[in-house]
Amino acid sequence: MEKYALIVGASGGIGSSIAEKISKDGYHVILHYHKNKDLIEQLQKKLDMSTKSKCQIVQADLSHQNGVNELVNQINVNISSIVYVSGQSTVGLVTDLTSEEIDQMTQLHIKSLIQLNNYYLPEMVRRKEGNIIVISSIWGQIGASCEVLYSTTKGAQNAYVMALAKEVAPSNIRVNAVAPGAIETKMLNYFSEEDRKALSDDIPIGRLGTPNEVANTVSFLLSDYSSYITGQILGVNGGWHTS
């Protein structure tokens, strides 16, 4: 039976690595992006050349309230798995945030996540099959100064995952989150080399993580190897700041 996975935020470093990994696992993939059209088209070409998976591109801005409708209206296949990677951070004092920034971050990380899953959950329940994975963050577990709003929305994602998992488990639907620590992506570009070295030294395993390590974790959570795992926030952080 063909399996389709919707990857929300597939153009970033983690999203593209997830797309590559689960395509090799046998999933057909729907690749969502917002702005990075060139990157998503390059990813599609790469997947077409290296895997037998079908690949569709969809575009939508999920930081706006009509974004989910724009996304789902482009898809006409049954989705068996959703991997919600989309996210952005704002760095600065929480008191400097504008109402617009708060609304956009809340919409992107919380409201659109709930609205998207609510669209696909009834069919998953009917089929008694489904898998939802949210890429949250270590900051959703322990909080970060100067990233208070980001930490808040990621913490909300973690709470959502734990609660939803209990609600849909009787329908054989599993819901989990992956909470990356410091991963080698563009989100760390504002760090100087000195800061990156200090950050690596602060991580018990002694280095930054890679997008592939997050992708491998998602692959595991989508597989039958994790058939008894649901409602979990799985840290991929090299042991960094876990206590």
Contacts by 224-231, CB closer than 8 A, 24 or more apart: 226/174, 226/176, 227/174, 229/174, 229/176, 230/165, 230/169, 230/174, 230/175, 230/176, 231/161, 231/162, 231/165, 231/166, 231/169, 231/175, 231/176
List all residues 6 or more positions away from 166 whose beta carbon is below 8 Å from its beta carbon.
Answer: 231
CA distance 223 to 215: 12
SS3 at position 84: strand
Q: How far apart are CA 2 and CA 27, in angstroms?
A: 7
- Separation between Cα atoms, residue 154 and residue 134, nearest integer Å: 10
190 included as an active-site residue: no
Catalytic residue chosen out of the listed positions 120, 150, 160, 228: 150
- Active site members: 150
